[in-house]
Structure 1
């Protein structure tokens, strides 16, 4: 490696590798300034100097020349292109700061407002490039530089002039797989719409920390791009309409630059989106701030619900059955097997969080509950994140982002009581075994207790947490357990309402709790990817079980023989409680698991998810995911089964509570 390039640019140190080459910090001895120099590498070429007649070399030169024509504050300026050892070296302005990928890794998720501003700047830069006939082809967090208030799109090193792409029609697919548009996966040409798709994936990753399509292997990633329909992230808020529009699989229907700019500008100017989200369970993306958001124009299918719902039982026509297009996977794999995918940067740079591949779901059917038109309970003004049946099944409690706890008569669907004691979102609910009390956990770091004969609050248990995520009664009713963000699991005596003990263990936040049916064991799940098992009588640690990802849902089987856990990667794992052996994984769901529930006979498992695909249903005996029951294109965030095993309640992102017979889920 020469220390000086073209007799002028002295290489100081490597800044990184990305695109089709390595980037160096260099000093321009002629103009006495620091610059960035990109060394174009051809990994498939023979060792030694490159052949100037090589098509790859010609393409690199043409792309460098194209990038040099661009003049825009949001695009890295190309100063010079020189040839050394037969290879082109691109001399560019040196931009300070760090990449968006580094920002996400080191500082966490961006606020909605900041994300919108970054997206707006990138979109403006892309517009300038597209008007010049140049495509970027590799928009992703690693290629977006943040330097103070400046947002700069870099690495046009694999871009090509739109009207001169003959050199890329040789079967090669250029770009980072997790950010590729479906039409590119299917072998179609790159267009301005493919850059917009990549921006949509980038925005999704900026508010969640992960790509919606990334899987462990190339085949799984490409299949997900073609078939997976990302659900709205909990922290997307006002960004969801633009992200959803940019991730439209049909490029003809994909959101174009002009309306996308308007949407992003509206969010960027809205102060209510300036609070950075936390990666945590059950955080509503629609809140009181949603109603105050600036007016934006969105597609007809994103029309909001009426802002002031009233208590009623609503009759809705069930949607047509929609089947996931799994048949497209085989065709997609056949296409991609014939092409060489050039991965231009390491997967870890773009995707700090990598989801495992989905197993073949050919046996999964998508169905709609036959009784969906009945027993739809309205009244909440925000996403419903908690539901609980009373022990006798006659009453249902629900809690939501509107800070209310609502009580319903399950026979009639009528509202019995509405209370607004919590100062924040209601995140979990639990009835005492005798049905005399209801406990509610909230985002205001408190547990409230309600007397069920009057539905009046009788006690408030305050914690030094950021938020209480889960609450549970022991089967004998003597203990209340609570866990949440920034604190251990806390146990109280229900008679005296005094704290009994604290159970430290999770390195990060606690997301869910479950007592075994015999009351001897307490299990907790956390963001650290573990399930902790405790002796519920004295708080002694029993076992720490490793799970693949952050565990959001946790439940024991009715006979206590199994413990199930599910989380952000869509996987559900089972452990046998007799020996706590490493659990068997059920077939993976194509959605984040928010809650889990066994049927009372232990034969089935249902899950609440962040997905329009609905409620996954597993056969416990075979471990197979047998169907996904759609709930009117809503996200069934929480799923609970009545103690007698006949009814299922779901809380959804459409501010609704659905009350359905279990047979709608278990009968094919």
Structure 2
């Protein structure tokens, strides 16, 4: 996620900040954008937790189909952040997921350049563990890149990576989610066969891991990457970036086994700060459309009831 100038959809959502969407999500502040809309910090009044919600406005049927498909992802893993709920009201559809406040690996690269071998190895290990869970659920992510690798705000502790943004994820080798001859993914990170419109396969995600690994090592995006330099992780990167999918590492678990055999030092990388900070104070809440916010009125009514009960006791007005 990254901060951007507000879009028209974001502007409509902004006008509704401090408003309840679908009776559940209180929009607080915009924290970035995703592939299909703006991303907001919100308060879930049912769970009483802060969450991230992706807001889609004036959706076409094709975009909505992708949006609904993303909310169907149900992968529970420490290194994956997948949607856990959605709601709709008026012209807005929102998709809720866990709030991850440390920015992304793209932020880390932009601010610090190439990372030390230990930190690269740790991030790749966490990414491969997350992908192993995604693939085991029968899905291919299809858009593994630094901007979609979110980070918990761990401060000076070791980084904690979360694979996010499942907007173009698809079932393994499922023709319904593949447009031929078009390619689905991000230029530079797509495997050669994926760029040619091949059916979704886990090995395509593994090729993208190789491109991410080389970017972590060199600080260069795929368009500027050259030969793999001498590095403790070079044997892994070479096996991931094989052009022929039949010769590439076949599974994320195989990548993990190879990675864990390599002489990778302990991580000494940069800290991961909290990039969001505390949520701003919100104004009095109203529901979208101007209806009364019943949870707020219920709290007031409850307080009035408590005061009335105390008066009954103190003044002897007990029946």
**Aligned with 2:43 (options 3, 27, 36):** 27
**Aligned with 2:240 (options 246, 253, 269):** 246
Alpha-carbon separation, structure 1, partners of 2:184 and 2:31: 22
The answer to whether structure 1 residue 145 and structure 2 residue 150 are counterparts is: yes
Alpha-carbon separation, structure 2, partners of 1:13 and 1:275: 33
Provide, for residues 576-630 of structure 1, a one-character-per-residue CA deviation record: whole Å limited to 9, x for no partner. Answer: xxxxxxxxxxxxxxxxxxxxxxxxxxxxxxxxxxxxxxxxxxxxxxxxxxxxxxx
Alpha-carbon separation, structure 2, partners of 1:10 and 1:276: 36
Indicate the residue corresponding to 1:652 in structure 2.
Answer: none
The offset of 1:274, in angstroms, is 4.5
Alpha-carbon separation, structure 2, partners of 1:231 and 1:62: 38
Instruction: Looking at secondary structure, tell me which structure has more helix per residue.
Output: 2
Provide, for residues 357-416 of structure 1, a one-character-per-residue CA deviation record: whole Å limited to 9, x for no partner. Answer: xxxxxxxxxxxxxxxxxxxxxxxxxxxxxxxxxxxxxxxxxxxxxxxxxxxxxxxxxxxx
Residue ranges of structure 2 left out of the alignment (5+ in a row): 1-11, 271-319
Indicate the residue corresponding to 2:23 in structure 1.
Answer: 7
Indicate the residue corresponding to 2:55 in structure 1.
Answer: 39
| Residue correspondence of structure 1 range 423-572 to structure 2 within 5 A | none
Give TM-score, length-normalised by structure 1.
0.35
The answer to whether structure 1 residue 58 and structure 2 residue 74 are counterparts is: no
TM superposition outliers: structure 1 runs of 4+ over 4 Å: 273-277
Provide, for residues 251-300 of structure 1, a one-character-per-residue CA deviation record: whole Å limited to 9, x for no partner. Answer: 11112323311222234x743x65669xxxxxxxxxxxxxxxxxxxxxxx
- Aligned partners of 2:121 and 2:233 also within 8 Å: yes
The offset of 1:96, in angstroms, is 2.2
Provide, for residues 86-129 of structure 1, a one-character-per-residue CA deviation record: whole Å limited to 9, x for no partner. Answer: 56421001112121110111123221111111111111111111
| Residue correspondence of structure 1 range 601-612 to structure 2 within 5 A | none
**Aligned with 2:213 (options 203, 208, 215):** 203
Indicate the residue corresponding to 2:223 in structure 1.
Answer: 214
Alpha-carbon separation, structure 1, partners of 2:198 and 2:259: 28
CA-atom RMSD in angstroms: 2.4
The offset of 1:186, in angstroms, is 2.0
Structure showing greater relative contact order (alpha-carbon pairs closer than 8 Å, 6 or more residues apart): 2
- Aligned partners of 1:182 and 1:249 also within 8 Å: yes
- Aligned partners of 1:70 and 1:77 also within 8 Å: yes
Alpha-carbon separation, structure 2, partners of 1:33 and 1:77: 16
Aligned residues: 248
The offset of 1:197, in angstroms, is 0.6
- Aligned partners of 1:97 and 1:146 also within 8 Å: yes
The offset of 1:164, in angstroms, is 4.2
Q: Per the alignment, do residues 82 and 171 of structure 1 end up closer, same or farther by CA in structure 2, a change over 3 Å counting? A: farther
- Aligned partners of 2:36 and 2:67 also within 8 Å: no
- Aligned partners of 2:82 and 2:166 also within 8 Å: no
The answer to whether structure 1 residue 95 and structure 2 residue 89 are counterparts is: no
Secondary structure at the aligned position of 2:167 is classed as: helix
Provide, for residues 459-512 of structure 1, a one-character-per-residue CA deviation record: whole Å limited to 9, x for no partner. Answer: xxxxxxxxxxxxxxxxxxxxxxxxxxxxxxxxxxxxxxxxxxxxxxxxxxxxxx
- Aligned partners of 1:50 and 1:85 also within 8 Å: no
| Residue correspondence of structure 1 range 555-594 to structure 2 within 5 A | none
Q: Per the alignment, do residues 12 and 170 of structure 1 end up closer, same or farther by CA in structure 2, a change over 3 Å counting? A: farther
Provide, for residues 148-189 of structure 1, a one-character-per-residue CA deviation record: whole Å limited to 9, x for no partner. Answer: 242111111221223544143265422111211111222222
| Residue correspondence of structure 1 range 178-577 to structure 2 within 5 A | 178-211=188-221, 213-214=222-223, 230-234=226-230, 237-256=231-250, 257-267=252-262, 270-271=264-265, 274=267
Alpha-carbon separation, structure 2, partners of 1:143 and 1:182: 20
- Aligned partners of 1:12 and 1:24 also within 8 Å: yes
Alpha-carbon separation, structure 2, partners of 1:39 and 1:206: 30
Secondary structure at the aligned position of 1:115 is classed as: helix
Q: Which has the larger radius of gyration?
A: 1
- Aligned partners of 2:66 and 2:167 also within 8 Å: no
Alpha-carbon separation, structure 2, partners of 1:160 and 1:129: 10
Alpha-carbon separation, structure 2, partners of 1:64 and 1:164: 18
The offset of 1:39, in angstroms, is 2.0
Secondary structure at the aligned position of 2:39 is classed as: strand
Secondary structure at the aligned position of 1:92 is classed as: strand
Alpha-carbon separation, structure 2, partners of 1:198 and 1:180: 6
- Aligned partners of 1:139 and 1:195 also within 8 Å: yes
- Aligned partners of 1:133 and 1:163 also within 8 Å: no
